[in-house]
Amino acid sequence: MHMQKFRISLFASLFLLLSSAFLISCSGKKKTETETTTTTATTDNGSTATEEMPKEEEVEGGALNKFFPKKEGVYKVVYNQEKDGFVQASLEQDGKEVATLAISDLSANMDTKAKYEKSTMKVGTYPALKKGSKGTAILVGDRYQVNIRSKDDSFDEDMRKAWFEKFDLSGLANLK
């Protein structure tokens, strides 16, 4: 009888210990408002300046979906990845993937934003970058990168540029 009470007590203690460990491990890191990002820039006279700024919170991926193009004719947008600050979709033509469409929140990615400042390429009024031979990306509202990557040779650079116009870019530019 004494041994049975000991086993029950031991089992209960072990259960509580494991439950506590599980809850602590699942809690994850909470975002703090004091996180900062450091930017270093070279001034006109050659000196460097470092600025520390608070990091902006990335928008939820679901908030970006409404800015993607809608189904149009034989083209269909199929969402396949969504996380904080990022959404990706496949553009299908008659069931075949011809391109990937993506929106990324660059609020914490100063290096990528700096590349757009140096770019001389534009798509409409937006600064643009070539991403290899099959990709084009634009910067919207100094925060969001909209990227189109061809998956089929028929979907060329002119098609990519035309599909940027099908996004709600002015709405995206106003998203905070």
Q: Is the pLDDT of residue 151 over 80?
A: yes
Q: Is 38 a domain residue?
A: no
Q: Is 31 a domain residue?
A: no
More confident residue, 160 or 3: 160
**Is the Cβ–Cβ distance between 86 and 107 less than 8 Å?**
no
Q: Is 141 a domain residue?
A: yes
Q: What are phi and psi of 139, to 5 degrees?
A: -105, 125
CATH of the domain at 98: 3.40.1000
Q: What does the pLDDT average to over 130-153?
A: 96
Residue 30 is encoded by which pair of tokens? 């909470």
Q: How far apart are the C-alpha atoms of 44 and 90, rounded to whole Å? A: 43
Taking phi over 0 as left and psi of -120 to 50 as alpha, with beta for the rest, 95 belongs to: left
Q: What is the number of structural domains in the chain?
A: 1
Domain that residue 128 falls in: 61-173
- Distances, alpha carbon 171 to alpha carbons 50, 67, 70, 140, 166, in Å: 32, 7, 14, 10, 12
**pLDDT (tens digit per residue) in 53-73:** 445 688 988 899 999 999 999
pLDDT at 67: 98
Q: Is 27 a domain residue?
A: no
Q: pLDDT band for 176, please (50, 70, 90 cuts).
A: confident
